[in-house]
Amino acid sequence: MSDKAFNPFVMAQMQFDKAAEFLNLDEGTRELLRNPMREYHFSIPVHMDDGKIKIFRGFRVQHNDSRGPGKGGIRFHPQETVDTVRALSMWMTWKCSVVDIPLGGSKGGVICDPHNLSAREQEQICRGWIRQLARNVGPNTDVPAPDVMTNAQHMLWMLDEYETIYGEKMPGLITGKPVGMGGSLGRTEATGYGVIYTLREALRDMGIKPDQTTASVQGFGNVAQYAIRLYQQIGGKVTCVSCWDQNDQKSYSFKKSSGVDPNALLTITDRFGGIEKTKASDMGYEILPGEAWIEQDVDILIPSAIENQITGDNVNKIHKNVKIIAEGANGPTTPEADKVIHERGIFVIPDFLANAGGVTCSYFEQVQSNMNYFWEKDEVLGKLDVKMTAAFHAVKDLADKRKLYMRDAAYLVAVSRVAQACKDRGWV
């Protein structure tokens, strides 16, 4: 089977089964953890600007809440499927566990394309999503957040609808809110910065100086933009970034050997991370096919777009000089590709460890919202660095001790904590 059409939920279950085998988990625990505990599927009717009614399909999947309330983003995507949301909810459980925050795993989605929706139509989708789930999410049950193509404004509309239904203020319902409206300073930077905190530790362990490295990045959304910035601050050079073109909606790679300039690129980027390729060309970028980011002669690859990007079909294009893959996206590498990467000895910082900075900062936001007392940005980012660094070393130490691939070690750390919580609660 070509893994191009790989089902992410099948992939998440395969990864879990491997960890369950390593940990010798009993049958009941395996069955509990390889499926979500609850899921909701529903319709959201929207009165469109042209007067017609359009029905959007929405989901919320709650994989496991043994360690605390469910936590996870809501994606707006035209190709959203419930299996993708299931996989992502499971990865959220492992993500919260690997950074050791008291939260479980959930994920939500709506099949829609915000590119083709007015602000008013998007607001209706957000309010409709919350109306469908008002009894099933909450500050102590399941706490949503932004994800692919959703942002702070979407979160605030959802919070407003929830507070209207319940008649009281509950800012702990949702994270990723605008700063000044219950949001945490540093949340925007957190996921991308977290990727680089773990990358910095990996480089230190390998005895490589960041200022002697180059990287190629897939994506130019929130995660990629801040990963590029912090990587540059520690001395690294990004020579290629890939993303889609605003006009033809196709993916391209933008190469500049002297180093990409995220500030300049941002001036020609829309709010979904799409670039105008003709303007990029005017800025001196070489425009290459979408997949060219993967074959660059660099030390580090940072896939920071969406799932299923490094596959059996393109994994062999990875340049022989690549030493590290830091997975900013959720599930960017299929199992077939992962096997090749493992065999080649490339050091992988697996997705749910590398990109856990977002949810870790969400946890800080939840704490601040519930206390109604907000920290300075340096304090937030300092605490984030401590958490990410500790999580990286917990995984790396286990990988060294038991001679494991980093992804397997991350799974062992995360799954064992969740299995223990289920056991301690008397569920299994």
Q: How far is residue 167's CA from residue 175's CA, in Å, rounded to a whole number?
A: 19
For residues 230, 232, 238, 244, the Cα torsion angle rounded to the nearest 10 degrees is 40
Name the residue number minimizing CB distance to ligand GLU.
73
Query: Which residue in the list 4, 52, 54, 107 is annotated as catalytic?
Result: 107
Positions 55 through 74 that interact with ligand GLU (CB under 6 A): 71-73
Considering the complex, state which of residue 109 and residue 274 has its C-beta at the smaller distance from ligand GLU.
109
Alpha-carbon torsion (172, 100, 215, 331), positive or negative: negative
Which residues, 6 or more positions from 142, have their beta carbon under 8 angstroms from its beta carbon?
A: 60, 62, 65, 69, 70, 71, 106, 136
Binding marks (x or -) toward ligand GLU, 276..295, rule CB under 6 A? Answer: --------------------
> What residues numbered 145-174 form the site for ligand GLU, per CB under 6 A?
145, 147
For the bound state, the minimum distance from the C-beta of residue 150 to ligand GLU, rounded and expressed in Å, comes to: 9
Return the number of the residue (147 or 295) whose C-beta is nearest ligand GLU: 147
The Cα 179–Cα 164 span in angstroms is 21
CB of 40 to ligand GLU, least distance (A): 17
Question: Applying CB under 6 A, what is the total number of residues that bind ligand GLU?
Answer: 12
Sheet (strand 105-111) strand order: 38-47, 53-64, 105-111, 70-77, 142-146
396 binds ligand GLU per the rule CB under 6 A: no
Enter the DSSP assignment of 174.
Answer: -
401 is an active site residue: no
Give CA–CA dist 218/208, Å, rounded.
22
| Number of neighbouring beta carbons within 10 Å of residue 83 | 15
Minimum CB distance to ligand GLU, residue 369 (Å): 13
Per-residue contact track with ligand GLU, 20 to 59, x per CB under 6 A?
----------------------------------------
Name which of 252 and 375 has its Cβ closer to ligand GLU. Answer: 375
CA distance 298 to 372: 45
Q: Counting contacts by CB under 6 A, is residue 175 touching ligand GLU?
A: yes
Shortest Å distance, C-beta 85 to ligand GLU: 11
Pick between residue 72 and residue 171 the one whose CB is nearest to ligand GLU.
72
Nearer to ligand GLU, 176 or 210 (CB): 176
Residue 344 Cβ, how far from ligand GLU at the closest point, in Å? 27
> For 422, what's the count of Cα atoms within 13 Å in the CB-facing half-sphere?
23
Cα separation, 278 vs 187, whole angstroms: 32
If the CB atoms of residues 95 and 127 are measured against ligand GLU, the closer one turns out to be 95
Number of residues written out for the chain: 428
Does residue number 330 form part of the binding site for ligand GLU (CB under 6 A)? yes
Q: How far is the CB of 307 from ligand GLU (least distance, A)?
A: 11
Residues 110 to 149: which contact ligand GLU by CB under 6 A? 145, 147
Give, as ranges, the residues between 231 and 270 that touch ligand GLU (CB under 6 A).
Answer: none
Window 333-392: residues binding ligand GLU (CB under 6 A): 355, 358-359, 362
Cross-strand pairs, 216: 240, 301
Instruction: Return the number of the residue (72 or 273) whose C-beta is nearest ligand GLU.
Output: 72
**Least separation in angstroms between CB 305 and ligand GLU:** 13
Of the pair 104, 128, the CB lying nearest ligand GLU is at 104
Ranges of beta strands (E only) in 266-319 are 286-289, 300-303
Kindly state the smallest distance separating residue 185's Cβ from ligand GLU, in Å: 15
* DSSP-assigned states of every residue in 35-94: S-SEEEEEEEEEE-TTS-EEEEEEEEEEEE-SSSSEEEEEEEETT--HHHHHHHHHHHHH
Backbone angles phi, psi at 179, to 5 degrees: -65, 135
Residue written as token pair 């393109």: 314
Distance (Å, whole) CA 351 – CA 73: 15
Residues belonging to the active site: 107
- Footprint of ligand GLU (CB under 6 A): 71-73, 95, 145, 147, 175, 330, 355, 358-359, 362
